[in-house]
Amino acid sequence: MENNKGREGFSSGLAAFFATLGSAVGLGNIWKFPYVVGSNGGAAFLLVYFICIIFVGLPVMISEFYMGRKTRKSVVGAVQELNSHKKWRSIGISSILSSYFIVFFYSAVGGWVYSYVFRAIKGDFNEATAENVQVMFMDTITNPVSAIAWQLVVIAVVSIILASGVKNGIERITKTLMPILFVLILVCDVRALTLPGVKDSFKFLFKVDFSMLTQQGILVAMGLAFFKMSLGMGTMTTYGSYFTEKDNMMSTAAKVAISDTIVSLLVGIAVFGAVFSFNMEPTAGPGLLFMTVPLVFGKLPFGSILLVVFFILSSIAATTAMISMCEVAIAYFVEQKGFSRKKAVLINAIIILIFGIPAALSADASGVLGGITVFGKTLFDLFDYVSSNILLPLGGLIIAIFIGYTVPKKDIEKELSNQGAIEQNKLINFYYFILRYVTPVLVFIVFLSSIGVFDKILK
């Protein structure tokens, strides 16, 4: 479909939902979110997280949707059209930098996941031991040929999809892959429900224990509510520009937040059910994905098949997230620089390779470029830190202030109500109040927390 300004767009609300959910669901959902929930109070933490979603995540997401659909432009063009003052240009610049910094190291991690799909299919984990899975993981991240080769595969797959366009590429792939991801998760969950450790996994994730909910845990919940929904990097503004005129943006934002959380928890049930069944460490962080999971699944009947399924769903999460992040820059190249889509995709891939390969080679201190540090961090860690701890929260803060204080409320009401076609004045008023008076404060707290301001205070 072509929208009213001649730009390509999503064909339906369902397509918009799947694409947006595909952006929010990433590798962090597979291992980080369940682990963080279990380690910070389980159900009590989830309650705080959902409250933070309402006051932190949803207002910024809805604001980005508004920016995109109202202007039908990339994040840079959207900001310029809504307010031409130079001081707001930092929103667009920050968004593109954020998406690139994340893709630089994320493409390396995506390559690891792709390689593990291949390893699982080959049966490399059939005789897995604690020693050899660690050796395989270290070889994956430190072997320069393997690391770069699989990173190239990921970038190639994502680029081919993006070159096909919004409808034939992004929409078609996300509408296909997101249902498949849900099915694969359910397959793993069905098997997990038969394991002796499934009760412990439910207890780990859902037991209400407010004594475990610390001040630090509340800060973590606030940060997760912001970071897990791909906010502050221009992805939601870009995807919002592809929405149809009939899409209910507030409803879509709520559905994405709920579905994203459900995906994370379903994965947690599957993974931790197996982990607890074999007395493994549930707080292994990223090592849970690449070391603990192969070891645990290898001990299950039909575990080799489940392991292939698990890493395929992980690769889907990595792919859909990367597609959305790359689209931010591609939309900018096409609309602001006048490049053809294929040329923009090629330029984007080259930029990722130039900076992504050094990131891949510095993922571990023993890697080829692991000894090169900037401000005491390897390039891999630097891209991660700057994007997650500085650019994203600052981008979200500026967006909240920009929409809340420079855009007339009547314009927001018209766009969110689809020119009066949707009766949700109370919700819009609530959103607008929260956006102006609550969200900026909380996002600023997220920023201070992410750079370690509260660490010494809370110790």
Q: Is residue 7 in a domain?
A: no
Q: Are 110 and 318 in contact (CB under 8 A)?
A: yes
Write down the mean pLDDT value for the chain.
88
Indicate whether 6 belongs to any domain.
no
The string of pLDDT tens digits covering residues 11-34 is: 998 999 999 999 988 887 877 788
24 lies in some domain:
yes
In a domain, 260, yes or no: yes
Angle between helices 58-71 and 392-406 (to 10 degrees): 70
CATH number of the domain that residue 430 is part of? 1.20.1740
Q: Where are the alpha helices (DSSP H) in 193-214?
A: 198-206
Do β-strands 377-378 and 373-374 pair in parallel, antiparallel, or remain unpaired?
A: antiparallel
- Predicted local distance difference test score (pLDDT) of residue 4: 43
- Residue 310 binned pLDDT confidence (cut-offs 50, 70, 90): confident
Whether the predicted pLDDT of 3 surpasses 50: no
H-run or E-run covering 218: helix 215-227
Kind and range of the H or E element at 113?
helix 89-122
| CA-to-CA dists, residue 242 to 17, 216, 235, angstroms | 11, 38, 11
What's the structural domain count of the chain?
1
pLDDT at 211: 82
Average pLDDT over residues 165-170: 92
In a domain, 254, yes or no: yes
Query: Is the distance from CB of 71 to CB of 82 less than 8 angstroms?
Result: yes
Please check whether residue 310 lies inside any domain of the structure. yes
Domain annotation covers residue 4:
no
Q: Which of 5-9, 74-78, 107-111 has the lowest mean pLDDT?
A: 5-9
Is residue 116 one of the residues assigned to a domain?
yes
What range does the domain containing 296 cover? 13-458
User: What is the C-alpha separation between 171 and 23, in angstroms, rounded?
Assistant: 12
Cβ neighbours of residue 313 under 8 Å, at least 6 residues apart?
A: 30, 180, 181, 184, 185, 188, 267
